[in-house]
Amino acid sequence: MATVRIENLGIEYEGETGWNLLECDLLREVDHPHDCGGNCACSTCKVAVILGGENLSPQGEDERDTLDAYGWDPDAFRLACQCVIQGGGEIVIRLPDPE
C-alpha cells in the first residue's frame, strides 16, 4: 500500500500495490477522466507526479508515445492508467484542470 494524495483535489487514500492510479481513483469514486478505459490510448487520465514517482512503475515507450501524440510533455506527465503502485511510501499527484 502507498499513500496517494491528489494535491489539487484534497483527496488522500491508501492505494493498493499492484493497482494503477486510475483504478485506485475510480474505486474511490474520484472524478478522473479515462476516455479509453485505461488502455493507454487517449491521454485524458494524465497526471503530474509531484512526489513519489519511484513508487510507480517506470514510464514505457507506449505511454510516452500516447502523451506526445496528444501534445503533452512525457517528461512532465504520466498516464494514471499506466502507473502501477509498486511499493509503500507517499505518492503525490495533481490532475490537470478540465479542458
- For binding to ligand FES (CB under 6 A), which residues are involved? 34-36, 38-45, 66, 79, 81
4 touches 14 (CB < 8 A)? yes
Minimum distance of ligand FES from residue 60's CB (angstroms): 12
What grid cell was written down for 64?
510516452
Minimum distance of ligand FES from residue 36's CB (angstroms): 3
**Residue placing its CB nearer to ligand FES in the complex, 19 or 88:** 19
Question: What is the C-alpha separation between 41 and 3, in angstroms, rounded?
Answer: 27
**Residue placing its CB nearer to ligand FES in the complex, 34 or 94:** 34
H helix runs in 2-98, sequence order: 21-27, 61-69
